[in-house]
Amino acid sequence: MAETDFDLADIKRRMDGAISALKTEFSSLRTGRAHTAILDNVMVEAYGSKTPLNQVGAINVPEPRMLTVNVWDKTLVAAVERALRESNLGINPVVDGQTMRIPMPALTEERRKDLSKVAGNYAESAKIAVRNVRRDGMETLKKQEKDGDISEDELKKSSSDVQTATDEHINLIDSLLSTKIEEIMQV
């Protein structure tokens, strides 16, 4: 009964990592109110490489429907503006020296539906990640059974545990998705 390679806690930890990544992606989706996480995924071409926006300027929320980006290096203002326009967030920055004001327009019904689809794509990616972790765990178990490290009964019990963890994480992803869609569709 030497379960050297199989660790259910590690599998759950890896599945939790997929959930954590999904929450981060969801935080970057607009919901009608301004918050700095909206710009977390914006990458700026700065100093010869792609750099996160929050590393080239300060992001603030002065009003509920307004973001400001204060760019630290004035040579990067044009690159930051380009990155914001190309970010696929439906925002239109107004440049004022080294500061950019980004008014957050009210979301149209069509844009809300688009954002819901994006949220669905994020959730599907997370489900795929969870299923990949399950596949790795199952392959490890089958190899151990084939090598004689665990019995057939231990294989069945451990496989059942992995499947239970997978089902729990998939249900959590579905729950997070429905909550996010409800938040997006709220007028």
Which CATH number belongs to the domain containing residue 77 in this structure? 3.30.1360.40
Number of domains forming the structure of the chain: 2
Residue 26: φ, ψ to 5°? -65, -35
Angle at alpha carbon of residue 125, lines to 119 and 129, rounded to 5°: 145
Average pLDDT over every residue of 97-114: 83
Instruction: Please state which of the ranges 63-67, 86-90, 148-152, 157-161 shows the lowest mean pLDDT.
Output: 86-90
Amino acid at site 180: K
Question: Which of 81, 103, 125 corresponds to the end of one domain?
Answer: 103
User: Is residue 146 in a domain?
Assistant: yes
Question: Which of 80, 103, 126 corresponds to the end of one domain?
Answer: 103
User: Is residue 2 in a domain?
Assistant: no
One domain, residues 115 and 144: yes
Question: Among all chains, which residue has been given the structure tokens 């919901």?
Answer: 31
For the beta carbon of residue 5, count every other beta carbon within 10 angstroms. 14
Average pLDDT over every residue of 171-175: 95
- pLDDT of 31 reads 65
pTM over 0.75: no
User: Is residue 76 in a domain?
Assistant: yes
CB 15 within 8 A of CB 132: no
Percent of the chain predicted with pLDDT > 70 = 95
Mean pLDDT of the chain: 86
The C-alpha atoms of residue 96 and residue 89 are separated, in whole angstroms, by 20
Average pLDDT over every residue of 131-152: 90
One domain, residues 85 and 60: yes
Amino acid at site 138: M
Boundaries of domain holding 52: 33-103
What is the band of 5 on the pLDDT scale with cuts at 50, 70, 90?
low
The C-alpha atoms of residue 176 and residue 5 are separated, in whole angstroms, by 32
Q: Which of 24, 36, 26 is nearest to 64 (CA)?
A: 36
Question: Which of 43, 73, 103 corresponds to the end of one domain?
Answer: 103
